Amino acid sequence: MPELPEVETVVRSLRGHIIGEEIRALRLTDFPGVLGGESLEQVNARVAGRTIRGIRRRAKYVVIELDDDTALVVHLRMTGRLSAVASGAPVQRHERLAIAFQSDRELRFSDQRKFGRVVHLHPVDLDALEQRLGREPLSPEFTPEWLLERLARRPGKIKAVLLDQGLIGGLGNIYVDEALYLAGIHPERSANSLAPAEVAAVYQAVREVLQAAVQNRGTTFSSFEDPEGNPGRYGARLLVYGRGGKDACPRCGTPLARTVVAGRGTSFCPACQPPPEAASGRGEA
């Protein structure tokens, strides 16, 4: 599933193509469910004639802001893709929705698995979404002190806690594995067992990994492409994600291990990331 760096890449790529465009109409292909339960007629009645004022990312969502303070909110889920094309371009493979503009351009949404959604939200619904999502990990409000205070309340496994979108918005399986490896923290450590220095290491690793991934336009394994059809470049820099049971630790040479945390396949180094029992004394220091 696209995570913060991939969604940020999509948003940055689309800014120069859709801001200022006036919506003529939305057009469906074969999957009405992409609109989240509303009919095409309902949505078109509200958005036709509206101008796109901005586009931003919130956690793993693309928020396309309209000039009446509503927004088209896109959740790419596993295989969703947005692209800006000429209005006469052929229907794309797995295309589910097109947003036609008054100009000669369209914004197309394609999605092989049909898990993604494009929903039109009023300000009250946008506020509700905002309240459900946690703090942005690349924002100034995300600080070591804030993270220490929040983790001290959470007895769950640190990886599961970091994946909680209600705590931190945008982190996913790839970048949590990478950040915990850089921080030297076992993914099954209790979040509230981390010492202040360990929390500071997690904070720094999260920021470092996400910033590098954004700079490299995300990670592509199978389906992620930016709106121009380019894959992400960060995959070549991954140190542990997906390598458990296959490769050796790039730092110490120990075989990487694999487990499951919060239902997610999890890779780590059993030497560089000591298990909870071995790290308990350090966590209490």
Region 14-18 average pLDDT? 96
Confidence check: pLDDT of 280 > 60: no
On whether both 104 and 162 belong to a single domain, the answer is no
Catalytic entry in 2, 5, 137, 227: 2
Higher-pLDDT residue of 282, 134: 134
The band of 248, judged by pLDDT with boundaries at 50, 70 and 90, is very high
Q: Which of 132, 160, 179 is the last residue of a domain?
A: 132
Q: Which of 73, 105, 132 is the last residue of a domain?
A: 132
Confidence check: pLDDT of 137 > 80: yes
Residue 138 lies in a domain: no
pTM as predicted: 0.93
The verdict on whether 38 is a catalytic residue reads no
Catalytic entry in 6, 8, 58, 60: 60
Catalytic entry in 231, 264, 274, 275: 264
d(CA 154, CA 174): 22
Confidence check: pLDDT of 160 > 80: yes
d(CA 279, CA 276): 5
d(CA 191, CA 160): 9
The verdict on whether 77 is a catalytic residue reads no
Confidence check: pLDDT of 282 > 80: no
The verdict on whether 187 is a catalytic residue reads no
Bridge partners of 26, per DSSP, are 99
Confidence check: pLDDT of 284 > 70: no
SS3 192: helix
Bridge partners of 168, per DSSP, are 135
The verdict on whether 50 is a catalytic residue reads no
First to last CA, the chain: 37
Catalytic entry in 3, 8, 106, 198: 3
Question: Whole domain around residue 223: which residue ranges?
Answer: 144-283
